[in-house]
């Protein structure tokens, strides 16, 4: 079973629908995350959110993210989730030009999250903030609009993507399939 951490995005239901194509899921609101709520999961996906981290006190998110990281499970952070992962590991979030369109994502490093995807693929964006790449992470994808489109932890199965694979058609479906395969191999 995959835990979908619901951070309030209207796209979270699309994450749940895609996960359900490959595995069962449980939806957990971000602020309700506890060690017990993560029991029996194979992996965790952290959704986007209608929240700007550059304009919000992120103190309420620190404990749930710490609990998620401490679980040792594979993690995929999407948009807001990607930004929370960056901040947890010592990165920062900054404002950027709004991007709410399709972007060509270019892989710059091999990663199991990108298995079966070409070196360039299209993904839908919906953000106006960007996250830095913490020291514990490798930079794995860029676009013309955003430098840190994707990152991967150097030693743990933790991935962050700025784009929204849940609304990106077949390329997004492949990415979810890859992540769920990583969860079952961990």
- For 71-91, what is each residue's pLDDT tens digit? 999 999 999 999 999 999 999
Angle between helices 59-70 and 80-88 (to 10 degrees): 80
**Catalytic residue from among 125, 129, 166, 183:** 166
Inter-residue contact 85 to 46 (CB < 8 Å): yes
CB atoms near residue 49 (< 10 Å)? 23
Identify the domain containing residue 137 by its residue range: 2-185
pTM for this one? 0.96
The candidate with the shortest Cα–Cα distance to 1, out of 36, 26, 18, is: 26
Please give the pLDDT value at position 100.
Answer: 77
Inter-helix orientation angle 169-185/12-22, to 10°: 60
**Cα–Cα distance, 22 to 3 (Å, whole number):** 13
Predicted confidence at residue 101, as pLDDT, reads 86
Q: What is the DSSP letter of 71?
A: T
Q: What confidence tens digit (pLDDT) does each residue in 17-66 have?
A: 999 999 999 999 999 999 999 999 999 999 999 999 999 998 999 999 99
Please list the residues that pair with 114 across neighbouring strands. Answer: none
Q: What is the mean pLDDT of residues 164-171?
A: 95
- CA-to-CA distance for 71 and 103, rounded, in angstroms? 33
Name the token pair of 186.
């961990």
The enclosing domain of 57 has a CATH number of 3.40.50.880
Catalytic site residue from 7, 79, 146, 183: 79
pLDDT category, 127, cuts 50, 70, 90?
confident
Domain count, the chain: 1
The DSSP code for 70 is H
Among 88, 127, 164, 183, the active-site one is 164
Distance of CA 21 to the CA centre of its chain: 18
Active-site residue, 166 included: yes
Q: pLDDT tens for residues 97-106? A: 887 789 999 9
CB of 7 closer than 8 Å to CB of 49: yes
Query: How far, in Å, CA of 64 to CA of 51, rounded?
Result: 16
pLDDT for 126 equals: 85
Q: What is the pLDDT of residue 146?
A: 92
Three-class SS of residue 1?
A: coil
Residue 179 reports pLDDT greater than 90: yes
| 7 labelled catalytic | no
Q: Say whether 58 is catalytic.
A: no
């Amino acid at each position: 079973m995959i835990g979908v951490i619901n951070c309030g995005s209207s796209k979270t239901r699309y994450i749940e629908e895609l996960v359900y194509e490959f595995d069962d899921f449980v939806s957990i609101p971000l602020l309700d995350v506890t060690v017990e709520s993560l029991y029996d999961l194979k992996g965790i996906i952290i959704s986007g959110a209608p929240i700007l981290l550059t304009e919000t006190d992120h103190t309420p998110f620190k404990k749930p993210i710490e609990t998620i990281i401490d679980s040792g499970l594979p993690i995929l952070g999407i948009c807001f989730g990607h930004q929370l992962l960056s901040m947890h590991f010592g990165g920062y979030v900054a404002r950027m030009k709004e991007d709410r369109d399709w972007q060509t994502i270019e892989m710059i490093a091999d990663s199991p999250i990108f298995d079966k995807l070409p070196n360039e693929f299209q993904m839908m964006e919906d953000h106006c903030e960007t996250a830095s790449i913490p020291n514990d992470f490798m930079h794995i994808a860029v676009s013309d609009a955003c430098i840190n489109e994707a990152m991967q932890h150097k030693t743990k199965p933790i991935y962050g993507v700025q784009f929204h694979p849940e609304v990106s058609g077949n390329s997004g479906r492949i990415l979810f399939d890859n992540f769920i395969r990583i969860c079952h191999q961990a």
